[in-house]
Amino acid sequence: MIRLWGYLAMALVLVVGALPGAAATTKTTVIATDLAFPWSMAALPEGGFVVTLRGGQLIYVAPNGNQQPIELSLPDLYATAQAGLFEVLLAPDFSSTRELVLSYACGSEAANNTCVVKGTLSAQAPYSVFNTQNIFTALPKKAGAAHFGARMTWLADNTLLVALGDGFVHREQAQQLDNHLGKIVRIHRDGSTPNDNPYKHSQASQIFSYGHRNVQGLIYDEQRDAIWQHEHGPKGGDELNKIVAGGNYGWPIATYGIDYTGAKVSPFNQLPGVKAPLYTWTPSLAPAGLALYNGDLLVSHLVGRRLQRFQYSNDSWTLTDEYLSELGQRIRAVYTSPDNEVYVLTDSAEGQLIKVELP
Amino acid sequence: MLRVLLAFFIAVVGAALVGSVMQTQFNLAEITALSVSVDMPTRMNTIVHDLLHFGPVFAAMLIPTLLIAFMIAWLVAKRFTRFERWWFIVGGGLGLATAFIIIDSLAPMPTLIAANRTTLGFVLMSATGAFAGWIFDRLWHPQAQELNEELPK
C-alpha cells in the first residue's frame, strides 16, 4: 500500500512537472552583487563581462566577480527615473575591432530621447571606452523620463536595430511616420541609413517598424532568420511580436491592455493592417529582457519576478517553463553568452549578476 | 448632517460620471484622428467600460479632493455669504486642477489621465470639479426659487 502511494506521488510529480508554465528548479550562481540597477550585459571574449548601470556607469565584472569601473564619457547623459544608460552590445567583429554600441537617454528633463553611440573598448583592464561617436539620436526630443525603449540587436547583414519608446505621453506619435517615437529603427554601424529600409521619406528614413509602446526585448534569431521582440503594454497587453520590415504593431490604436486609470486606450484589440502579437501577458508581467537559448526564447520579467521559457512551433511560441520565481527579484535582463551560458541581472539598488543553469 | 453627506455623495457621483464620459471622448478622438473609424455601438461599449473601470478610480480621486476644496469653500462662504454657490463651483474646479497637478508630479507617469495631456482636456476635466461644487451647493443650500421649482409633469 505504501509503495502504491509512492508510485502515485511520483506520477503526480511527473504530471505537474510536464504542465506548461510549471515552475522548474534551476541551479543559480551569484557572480556579482551590489550592482545599482544593472540594465544589460555582454560577455567579453577575454573573459568577464561588461555591465551597464542605469545611473550611467559602465562596469567590468571579472569572472571571479570583482568589479572595476570602465571609463566612459557621455556628456549628454540624462539619468533619472527610467532614463539613464541602457544597452551595451558588442560589435559582430568585436574581437578584431573592439567596437561596441551603447544606448542611453540623452538631453535634459525638458528635452530628451534615446541616443546611441559607438565606441572602442581598450584591449585590457583597466578598461576604458574611447573614440565615442554618436550614431543615432531619436527625434523629437521631448520632456519626461519614461518609455525610452533602447534594446538593440544586430541583424545578419551587420545593420543595427534600435528599439524605441513612445515617451508615454506621446502615444499617438507611434503611428506617425515622421518621428522616432514608438518605432524600431535600422541603421548602419556608422550611423548612416541603409538604402533598403522600408520607408524612404526624409523625416525618419531609419524607421523599420512602428506602433510600439515601450520595447524592452529585441533579438535577431539567426536560426530562423526572424526578429523577436517584446514590449510593455499599459495595464495588461504586454506583447511578444515577430518584427517585419514596415510592420505596424498597433499601439495605441489596437492593444490588449487598458490605461492605468482603467480607461480604454483603444476599443480595438486587433485591426486590419496591424500585426497581431504572438503572445500577450495580461495581467502585465513587465517583460524586460529577451534571449535565445538552444532555440528557445527566454523572457525575464520585472513585475512578474521570474524567467519564462518559450518553445517554437508553427511560427509561434508556447510557454513551457518558468524559473527563478524563488528569487523574488525583479529581473531586468537575460543574456546568453557566446559559450551558451545563461545569465540574468536583477533590478534593484543591490542588483546581482547571476549565472543560471537551466534544465 | 445627512443632507450634507447625501449632497456630497451625489456631487462625487455626478462629477465621476461626467468626467468618465468626457475622457472617453478625448481618447476616442485621438483614435479617430489616426484614421480609425469608431462606430456608435463601439463608442457606447467604450463609454460603459470606462464608466465601470475609470469611474470608480476618478471617484476615488474626487472624494479627498472635494472634501478639502469644499471645506475651504465653506470657510470662505462664511465670510462672503452672498457668493456661496460660486465659492463651491470655483473651489471644486481649482481643487481638482490642483489635485491633477499633484498626482502627475507624484505618479511615475508624466500624465495619469490621458485626456489631461491637452490644455482643453485638462480644463474640461477640472471643470467636473466645478460641476461637483455646483451640485453640492445646489443640494445643500438650495436658493429660494430652486425650492419652489416644480418637478416636470
Give the pLDDT confidence of B63-72 residue by residue, as tens digits. Answer: 999 999 999 9
Rounded-to-integer distance, Cα A345 and Cα B7, Å: 54
Domain segments of chain B as ranges: 2-142
Is B104 in CB contact (< 8 Å) with chain A?
no
Is A236 in CB contact (< 8 Å) with chain B?
no
Report yes or no: A254 and B42 within 8 Å, Cβ to Cβ. Answer: no
3 state SS of A34:
strand
The total number of structural domains in chain A stands at 1
Residue A240 lies in a domain: yes
pTM, two decimals, is 0.91
Report yes or no: A297 and A317 within 8 Å, Cβ to Cβ. Answer: yes
Is A301 among the residues known to form the active site?
no
Residue A318 lies in a domain: yes
**Residue in chain A nearest B26 by alpha carbon:** A265
A156-215, pLDDT tens digit by residue? 999 999 999 999 999 999 999 999 999 999 999 999 999 999 998 877 899 999 999 999
Say whether the peptide bond before residue A63 is cis (omega within 30 degrees of 0): no
Min Cα–Cα distance to chain B from A278, Å: 23
CATH of the domain at A122: 2.120.10.30
Rounded-to-integer distance, Cα B43 and Cα A219, Å: 38
Angle between helices B2-32 and B40-79 (to 10 degrees): 140
pLDDT score for B109? 81
Do B112 and A146 lie within an 8 Å CB cutoff?
no
Residue A258 lies in a domain: yes
A20-64, pLDDT tens digit by residue? 455 667 899 999 999 999 999 999 999 999 999 999 999 999 999
Find, among A239, A265, A249, the residue nearest to A209 by Cα. Answer: A249
Burial degree of A198 (CB within 10 A; 0-12, 13-18, 19+)? middle
Residue A203 lies in a domain: yes
A71-87, pLDDT tens digit by residue? 999 999 999 999 999 99
> Does the structure show a pLDDT above 80 at A11?
no
Residue A6 lies in a domain: no
> Does the structure show a pLDDT above 80 at A12?
no
pLDDT score for B145? 81
Rounded-to-integer distance, Cα A323 and Cα A342, Å: 12
Is B114 in CB contact (< 8 Å) with chain A?
yes
Mutate one of A249, A261, A269, A271 to test the B interface: name it (highest B CB count within 10 A): A261
> Which among A81, A169, A258 has the least Cβ separation from residue B117?
A169
Residue A241 lies in a domain: yes
Do B50 and A144 lie within an 8 Å CB cutoff?
no
Instruction: Tell me which chain A residues have a C-beta less than 8 angstroms from the C-beta of B56.
Output: 262
Residue A12 lies in a domain: no
> Which among B24, B109, B117 has the least Cβ separation from residue A263?
B24
ipTM for this prediction: 0.91
A257-273, pLDDT tens digit by residue? 999 999 999 999 999 99
Burial degree of B21 (CB within 10 A; 0-12, 13-18, 19+)? middle
Structural domain of residue A306, as residue ranges?
Answer: 21-357
Q: Contacts for A339-342 with beta carbons within 8 Å, 24 or more apart?
A: A339/A43, A340/A293, A340/A294, A342/A291, A342/A293, A342/A298
Residue A16 lies in a domain: no
Is A267 in CB contact (< 8 Å) with chain B?
yes
